[in-house]
């Protein structure tokens, strides 16, 4: 394949940086890796053609240092920047600076990033475009306005930051007495995490599914979907296990959610890869748009496994001005795929991150098993970033084949030196409600699966001592990341 760019800079780290570098290499494109002091020996720096230090270990001084990243791209002759997910991937100002510098931004244009980055303006826009959004307020609410708005919506309600994401600052309030505390807490965390304290309310649906649609759009106005994913296994509004296609909807419902996603993407002139996320109320069998993720998603491999489409490759081609292939309009999917996220964290101690050296690593293999990893044996997991180690993805001709294959793959995985969530994920995949597909977004909460110990978390005489010491260990973890991963 001839290259559309000769060199791109990957403005990220970990498994997603490795993922992007590998596709770029397949396309004949040279890559530049950026790294902080903590990532000097990271896998992505070893795989890239060039590497450049951008700052100290703290994210705000390195991976969030837009000036250093842009300077690195320009000085090393990169023609484009791929931001991956997280960090600066949805920063409209940075995207604008990249474009103004003469480089290509491998992602949605700044106008779309601005629209989707503000949850309230996004809700107003899509509601005005005829897309059903989750019932809730379209303006910020404070302690005075919240009670009346909640009564009108009906309890329970979700308090959400207007400028946030990743589950940070989101709380469910089940009564008027509970609401004040949750609004104050959400506002405080939103201010600390996003430098913006505004919050709003949405109706909370206890029996719901999280269904999202992968969208691609080119600069010539063409929009296509790559079918849907289900991401209903969640902890604190963060995804744990994802699968494609959804086992929870009928063919007619699939057509409806795909239609809504394409209509929403067309209404905002979406360009590049994005995910339109919907809440599916099981009682009414109705879809509501939750939000738009204007970047590549952690769970994109399940879509790739059932469609055969390399989403990163499409991102690069679109950013280079290429038109989407006509074959994407008539694409179908094959089989079923499931993804499990492997974190260096302790499920049996409130999911506290577990930085440290990976002293032993044996990865699963075999037919129809994919591992997207950012670590290697001997690698030291830094304390400064999200502790995602890798993603293990399985494909099968049907859902049960994919599920059982993923369980097998997880049981083959060996990681020593850091705590991890392997047995927790096996527990989830073997739970009867996951096996039969009836699980909802409340599965982990209702079944208390994070309290079921596996072999890595087997009760020992020092279990209580270790759990009491979890908070001490957490002091080493960046505050905003701790907030994102802790259960409240």
Q: Using CA atoms, how far apart are residues 232 and 225, in angstroms rounded to an integer?
A: 20
* Domain 133-203 -> CATH class: alpha beta
Of 3.50.50.60, 3.30.470.20, 2.120.10.30, 3.10.350.10, the CATH number of 208-485 is: 3.30.470.20
Own/partner pairs, 403-412, CB within 8 angstroms, 24+ separation: 403/338, 403/429, 403/434, 403/435, 405/366, 405/368, 405/369, 406/338, 406/340, 406/369, 408/364, 408/366, 409/364, 409/366, 409/369, 410/340, 410/364, 412/362, 412/363, 412/364, 412/365
pLDDT at 163: 75
Q: Tokens at residue 233, please?
A: 């296994």
Domains 133-203 and 208-485 share a fold: no
pLDDT at 450: 59
Q: Which of 244, 246, 243, 298 is nearest to 428 (CA)?
A: 243
254 as an active site residue: the answer is no
What digits encode the pLDDT tens for the residues 159-192? 998 876 667 788 999 999 899 999 999 999 888 7
Residues 6+ away with beta carbon under 8 Å from 19: 312, 372
pLDDT at 255: 98
pLDDT at 387: 95
What digits encode the pLDDT tens for the residues 239-290? 999 999 999 999 999 999 999 999 999 999 999 999 999 999 999 999 999 9
Domain residue extents for the chain: 7-106, 133-203, 208-485
Core vs surface per residue 130-150: b (16+ CB within 10 A) or e:
ebebbebbeebbeeeebeebb
In this structure, whether the domain defined by 7-106 belongs to CATH 1.10.3720.10 is answered with no
What is the pTM (predicted TM-score) of this model? Answer: 0.90
Task: Classify strands 414-416 and 360-362 as parallel, antiparallel or unpaired.
Answer: antiparallel
Q: Which stretches in the chain have pLDDT values below 70?
A: 1-3, 164-166, 450-488
- Choice among 295, 341, 370, 422 that is catalytic: 295
């Amino acid at each position: 394949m001839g290259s559309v760019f000769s060199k791109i800079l990957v403005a990220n780290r970990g498994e997603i940086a490795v993922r992007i570098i590998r596709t770029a290499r397949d396309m004949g494109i040279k890559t530049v890796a950026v790294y902080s002091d903590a990532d000097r020996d990271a896998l992505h720096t070893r795989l890239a053609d060039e590497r450049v230090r951008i700052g100290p270990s703290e994210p705000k001084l390195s991976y969030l240092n837009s000036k250093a990243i842009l300077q690195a791209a320009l000085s090393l002759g990169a023609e484009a920047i791929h931001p991956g997910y997280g960090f600066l991937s949805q920063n409209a100002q940075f995207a604008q600076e990249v474009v103004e510098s003469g480089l290509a931004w491998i992602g949605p244009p700044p106008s779309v990033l601005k629209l989707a980055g503000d949850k309230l303006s996004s809700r107003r826009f899509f509601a005005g475009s005829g897309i059903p959004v989750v019932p809730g307020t379209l303006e910020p609410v404070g302690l005075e306005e919240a009670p009346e708005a909640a009564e009108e919506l009906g309890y329970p309600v979700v308090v959400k930051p207007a400028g946030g994401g990743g589950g940070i600052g989101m709380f469910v309030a089940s009564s008027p007495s509970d609401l004040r505390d949750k609004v104050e807490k959400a506002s405080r965390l939103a201010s600390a995490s996003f430098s913006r304290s505004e919050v709003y309310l949405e109706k909370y649906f206890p029996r719901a599914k999280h269904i999202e649609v992968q969208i691609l759009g080119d600069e010539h106005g063409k929009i296509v979907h790559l079918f849907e994913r289900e991401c209903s296994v969640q902890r604190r509004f963060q995804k744990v296990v994802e699968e494609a296609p959804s086992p929870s909807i009928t063919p007619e419902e699939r057509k409806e959610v795909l239609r809504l996603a394409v209509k929403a993407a067309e209404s905002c002139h979406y360009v590049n890869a994005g995910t339109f996320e919907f809440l599916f109320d099981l009682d009414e069998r109705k879809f509501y748009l939750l939000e738009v993720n204007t970047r590549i998603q952690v769970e994109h491999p399940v879509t790739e496994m059932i469609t055969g489409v390399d989403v990163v490759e499409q991102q690069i081609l679109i950013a280079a001005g290429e038109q989407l292939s006509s074959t994407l309009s008539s694409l179908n999917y094959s089989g079923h795929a499931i993804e499990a996220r492997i974190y260096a964290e302790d499920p049996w101690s409130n999911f506290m991150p577990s930085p440290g050296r990976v002293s032993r690593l044996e990865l699963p293999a075999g037919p129809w098993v994919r591992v997207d990893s950012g670590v290697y044996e001997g690698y030291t997991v830094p304390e400064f970033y999200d502790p995602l180690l890798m993603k293990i993805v399985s494909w099968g001709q049907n859902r049960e084949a994919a599920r059982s294959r993923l369980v097998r793959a997880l049981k083959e995985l060996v990681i020593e030196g850091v705590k991890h969530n392997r047995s927790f994920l096996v527990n989830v995949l073997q739970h009867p409600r996951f096996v039969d597909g009836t699980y909802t977004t409340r599965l982990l909460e209702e079944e208390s699966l994070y309290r079921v110990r596996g072999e890595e978390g087997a009760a020992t005489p020092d279990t209580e001592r270790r759990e009491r010491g979890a908070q001490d260990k957490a002091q080493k973890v960046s505050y905003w990341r701790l907030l994102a991963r802790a259960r409240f």
